[in-house]
A = this chain, B = another copy of it.
Amino acid sequence: MTAQTATPIQFYFDFISPFGYFASLRIDDLARRYGREVEWTSMLVGVSVLKVMGLPPIVELPLKGPYVINDAKRYARQHQVAFERPSTSPTSRPVEAGRAFAWAKGIDPAAAKRLAGFIFSSYFVRCLDISEDSVLSACVRKAGLSWPAFEAARAEGTPAELLRRNVDDSIQRGVFGSPYFIVDGEPFFGLEKLPVVEEWLAAGGW
């Protein structure tokens, strides 16, 4: 399979997932080294996927909850990534942000990636509430997109419908967490799979 004919790497994330945020900072560079494109898709772990799985929010799980909070902070220290735990976490609702991203992707995928970057940093660096229009509109504008255009689309329900479809599709494909990657049809779950994705790309699979 050559870089020209290879399908894009699929990258699924939830805007309130720290590990999705960390992965978003690395996946495009990693793919580029192997001549691959990345398609980003926002989905909803807490709001949708965990209900399908019958699980509570991960941070509320005994033993694992405290572990993942420490793990995220430790990753940020190791990789010197700006990272704060938002005070609204884990009750923050990523739905509006996910809708804005899904809408933006339909207009301009590159702008949508910039938008995702601004949303992630608003949430995980500046600790803003990304469910607020005031926060989201600033991100949309900084990404070079039109907030009034988003508002018009929202009035017609388009972003909600796009996100719903993305969430349904991702669950259909087996996506159960953030980050989640699909490379050449193979699923890879979790930030720690990035080196394994790289080994896969380098070897052309196993």
Which residues of A line the B interface, CB within 8 A?
49, 52-56, 61-64, 66-67, 70-71, 74, 77-78, 171, 174-177, 186-187, 189-190, 192-193, 195-196, 199, 203, 206
User: What is the predominant secondary structure among interface residues of chain A facing chain B?
Assistant: helix
Residue among A64, A66, A186, A193 with the highest chain B CB neighbour number at 10 A = A64
- Which residue of chain B lies nearest to A177 when distances are taken between CB atoms in the complex? B64
Q: Of B53, B62, B78, B206, which contacts A64 at CB under 8 A? A: B53
CB-based closest 4 A-B pairs = A192-B192, A63-B176, A77-B206, A78-B206
Contact A176 B53 (CB under 8 A): no
Q: Of B49, B61, B193, which contacts A63 at CB under 8 A? A: B49
Query: In the assembly, what is the distance between CA of A196 and CA of B78, in Å?
Result: 10
Given contacts A192-B192, A192-B196, is CB(A186)–CB(B74) below 8 Å? Answer: yes
A selection of 18 A-B contacts at a CB cut-off of 8 Å is A49-B63, A52-B62, A52-B63, A53-B61, A53-B62, A53-B64, A54-B61, A55-B55, A55-B61, A63-B174, A63-B175, A63-B176, A64-B176, A67-B187, A78-B196, A78-B199, A78-B203, A190-B192
Query: In the assembly, what is the distance between CA of A175 and CA of B64, in Å?
Result: 8
Query: In the assembly, what is the distance between CA of A71 and CA of B203, in Å?
Result: 17
A187: chain B residues at CB < 8 Å are: 67, 70
Query: In the assembly, what is the distance between CA of A71 and CA of B174, in Å?
Result: 13
Query: In the assembly, what is the distance between CA of A142 and CA of B148, in Å?
Result: 74
Q: Of B54, B66, B78, which contacts A62 at CB under 8 A? A: B54
- Which residue of chain B lies nearest to A175 when distances are taken between CB atoms in the complex? B63
Q: Of B78, B195, B206, which contacts A74 at CB under 8 A? A: B206
